[in-house]
A and B are shown apart, each in its own frame.
Chain A
């Protein structure tokens, strides 16, 4: 415990030192310091889990586990060990106390070693629990009503083998080696207790979670996440992102619900679509990202504007259908990533968007927005939703003797 506390303190120190050149998120309950360079550590302990409003790092390794033990104590022990390892790894240390090269020659090392010499790289590890976990270990009463497997949306082509899972862990970092190292070590520590159900690598964040970040582009070449919730918008985050007292079981108060969707993009047909049609589908210009009919990226889209007798922003444009004004004000915090899983054997890139969104309640967030998009979005011709996941992410760990899932299991 003492060692973990020391690491926690060290991590906090790095964050505070970095906060001089950054901002603080004041929510009456905590701050979100930002690493000042891409090598720095992001504090593991805090009111919120890191990796949600943390300015989106460049790389992702997301993993979903099935719990395969029937022994609750084994699962709890693993979560304790995971937490200790996560605290260490996010601080830029080895997964275990012996380390990659510190043990005896006859034993396998307790860290896999591929991150030797690499800095913390802004690694965050964010955990969430899936609906299927709650039918195990008699956790049914603790299950939030909001945590329900996502419904089938029109056009969904969901592959169950790369969907769902009892536990989801999002590893984000500025260095893919660091993100992969973290997931690999957690998977290894979990053998016999959990089994990797599926995992996904991502690169090139496709949204901004802070006003300090430029809006990135997705693989369609368009800016993505212009209207995203930002870390600085504290009142909006309280309204749309963080679970409040009374929303559901108390263990989730201060947490958030995570939705993942793997969206394959048929980039070859998109690439032969005219610029005008691409812009009409998205509802924004490709160059600046401004809404059609406007000039600045952050201009509010004018859905009433007409060009002659047709709407300037088409009725089936992505930006219109996804916009809060069209969805009872629903706002999501997106932090998705591009993916390319090689090619598909037909000469096409197996590529797309690994969509990640956090929200206070998926029933008022992702579900209505995706329902509208799935029915009418003209972009659907170029995309397929092939994986789906939902996870309840508890609040952060405030002390080094706390562990992931403690309030749920004790």
Chain B
């Protein structure tokens, strides 16, 4: 209902920030189970330092003057859940599924730095989404996919790095989009590991003061714009080290079904925001390689969830099948040799067709997480 009184409008606005109505239509834990987090510009007071396993709900109120973020980290700063952009005065809820173990919570006033940290312990083994056998199988299946991609990622990145260091620009240019394919297929997994993603895949305009421009896009700039890779060796070495780190972590991580569902959507959002516009690979214009890889990665996550989705909403599965097929068909018209046409070879009309197809797919995919959470 939009027509509301002034008094209820105020409370609704708060709830809007929570992302939960708080009533019985919500799948979230009742308000009694929420762990209050009082965030300010200098403090992060978490009401409890421990919880039983399962879906844990943090209710974060930003009482400071700066926009803040709230994170739950597992060992090695693996992000288990986060809420971004909590404006001063607003409250937001974070629902995060935690198994037994030790974690850290963090408020990040001003959205920068390591944040104000607290320990958080989870005990017991109650009620995880993965108790649903089909959802448990989904995470196992997807884990296998991640493993296959990380293997190829290491192989192809090693070749790419070797070509850069050997000064073989032509070979490096050919390998650049290929090595990125494996990265782009599992990007949401990579993004879980905080600082590594910007180091590997950051773009020059995304840097904070003091950060170095490293990773794929730095080498892309050296190859295509500066056209000088004589000094790129250290950057190439660092890329390989960083990629190896993320591969090790990704292979040992276990993802929740919700992360799969959100990852499938986020991959398409990546396409819709960065690849359609040509921002991502602005020097090489190899965006369609990333585009195809993002779509494939999204499809892999949905494929893993498929048995669970078939049970919950077979019509949605049919829609997703049709729309994945439509995206593939639209993309197929831009194939060139073993790869794809360059972004700057596509007309505005070509891009609109691709954009329409991605939006058509991403809308129904955005409902998958709710289905998964609804059990």
Question: Which residues of A does B touch, CB under 8 Å?
Answer: 68, 92-94, 98-108, 111, 113, 115-120, 161, 188, 191-193, 195
Interface centre among B23, B370, B374 (most CB of A within 10 A): B370
Q: Are B28 and A104 in contact (CB under 8 A)?
A: yes
Q: Are B370 and A99 in contact (CB under 8 A)?
A: no
Shortest beta-carbon distance from A14 to chain B in Å: 11
A-contacting residues, B5-32, CB 8 Å: 9, 12-13, 15-16, 18-21, 23, 25-28
Shortest beta-carbon distance from B305 to chain A in Å: 13
Shortest beta-carbon distance from B83 to chain A in Å: 11
Contact among A98, A113, A188 with B363 in the assembled complex (CB-CB below 8 Å): A188
A residues in contact with B323, CB < 8 Å: 192
Q: Are A116 and B9 in contact (CB under 8 A)?
A: yes
Between A and B, how many residue pairs show CB distances below 8 Å?
Answer: 96
Given contacts A101-B12, A116-B12, A192-B360, contact A107 B2 (CB under 8 A): no
Q: Are A116 and B13 in contact (CB under 8 A)?
A: yes
Once the chains are docked, how many angstroms separate the CA of A102 from the CA of B26? 8
Q: Are B1 and A106 in contact (CB under 8 A)?
A: no
Q: Are B2 and A105 in contact (CB under 8 A)?
A: no
Interface centre among A100, A101, A102, A115 (most CB of B within 10 A): A101
Q: Smallest CB-CB separation from A161: which chain B residue?
A: B348
Q: Are A192 and B2 in contact (CB under 8 A)?
A: no
Shortest beta-carbon distance from A137 to chain B in Å: 18
Q: Are B369 and A107 in contact (CB under 8 A)?
A: yes
Once the chains are docked, how many angstroms separate the CA of A76 from the CA of B20? 32
Given contacts A68-B356, A116-B9, A191-B360, contact A103 B25 (CB under 8 A): yes
Known: A104-B20, A105-B93, A106-B27. 17 other contacts (CB 8 A): A68-B356, A94-B1, A99-B2, A103-B21, A104-B26, A105-B19, A105-B26, A106-B261, A106-B373, A107-B370, A111-B2, A116-B4, A117-B2, A117-B9, A117-B12, A120-B3, A192-B323
Q: Does B372 contact A (CB under 8 A)?
A: yes
Q: Does B361 contact A (CB under 8 A)?
A: yes
In the A-B complex, list the 7 residue pairs whose CB atoms are closest, starting with the nearest. Answer: A192-B360, A107-B370, A106-B373, A195-B356, A117-B9, A104-B27, A191-B359
Once the chains are docked, how many angstroms separate the CA of A161 from the CA of B349? 10
A residues in contact with B20, CB < 8 Å: 101, 104-105
Could you list 18 A-B pairs, sorted by A, with CB under 8 Å? A68-B356, A93-B1, A99-B2, A105-B20, A106-B95, A106-B372, A106-B374, A107-B367, A107-B369, A107-B370, A111-B2, A116-B16, A117-B2, A117-B4, A118-B2, A191-B359, A191-B362, A192-B363
A residues in contact with B37, CB < 8 Å: none
Q: Does B258 contact A (CB under 8 A)?
A: yes
B residues in contact with A93, CB < 8 Å: 1-3
Q: Are A100 and B16 in contact (CB under 8 A)?
A: yes
Interface centre among B2, B26, B27, B93 (most CB of A within 10 A): B2
B residues in contact with A101, CB < 8 Å: 12, 15-16, 19-21
Shortest beta-carbon distance from B316 to chain A in Å: 12
Once the chains are docked, how many angstroms separate the CA of A107 from the CA of B356? 22
Q: Are A113 and B16 in contact (CB under 8 A)?
A: yes
Q: Does B352 contact A (CB under 8 A)?
A: yes
Interface centre among A98, A104, A120, A191 (most CB of B within 10 A): A104
Contact among A68, A104, A111, A113 with B25 in the assembled complex (CB-CB below 8 Å): A104
B residues in contact with A98, CB < 8 Å: 25
A residues in contact with B28, CB < 8 Å: 104-105
Q: Are B16 and A104 in contact (CB under 8 A)?
A: no
A-contacting residues, B143-161, CB 8 Å: none
* Contact mask for chain B residues 320-357; partner A; CB cutoff 8 A; 1 contact, 0 none: 00010000000000000000000000001000100010
Interface centre among A98, A100, A111 (most CB of B within 10 A): A100
Contact among A105, A108, A193 with B95 in the assembled complex (CB-CB below 8 Å): A105
A residues in contact with B1, CB < 8 Å: 93-94, 99
Once the chains are docked, how many angstroms separate the CA of A101 from the CA of B372? 19
Q: Smallest CB-CB separation from B5: which chain A residue?
A: A117
Once the chains are docked, how many angstroms separate the CA of A71 from the CA of B3? 36
Q: Does B366 contact A (CB under 8 A)?
A: yes
Shortest beta-carbon distance from A70 to chain B in Å: 10
Q: Are B356 and A103 in contact (CB under 8 A)?
A: no
A residues in contact with B93, CB < 8 Å: 105
Q: Smallest CB-CB separation from B95: which chain A residue?
A: A105
Once the chains are docked, how many angstroms separate the CA of A105 from the CA of B16? 10
Q: Smallest CB-CB separation from A193: which chain B residue?
A: B360
Q: Are B363 and A191 in contact (CB under 8 A)?
A: yes
Shortest beta-carbon distance from A73 to chain B in Å: 12
Once the chains are docked, how many angstroms separate the CA of A192 from the CA of B367? 15
Once the chains are docked, how many angstroms separate the CA of A107 from the CA of B20? 10
Shortest beta-carbon distance from B275 to chain A in Å: 18
Q: Are B2 and A116 in contact (CB under 8 A)?
A: yes
Q: Are B95 and A119 in contact (CB under 8 A)?
A: no
A residues in contact with B367, CB < 8 Å: 107-108
Once the chains are docked, how many angstroms separate the CA of A193 from the CA of B363? 11
A residues in contact with B4, CB < 8 Å: 116-117
Once the chains are docked, how many angstroms separate the CA of A120 from the CA of B1? 12
Q: Smallest CB-CB separation from A194: which chain B residue?
A: B356
Shortest beta-carbon distance from A305 to chain B in Å: 52
Once the chains are docked, how many angstroms separate the CA of A120 from the CA of B20? 24
Once the chains are docked, how many angstroms separate the CA of A57 from the CA of B373? 43
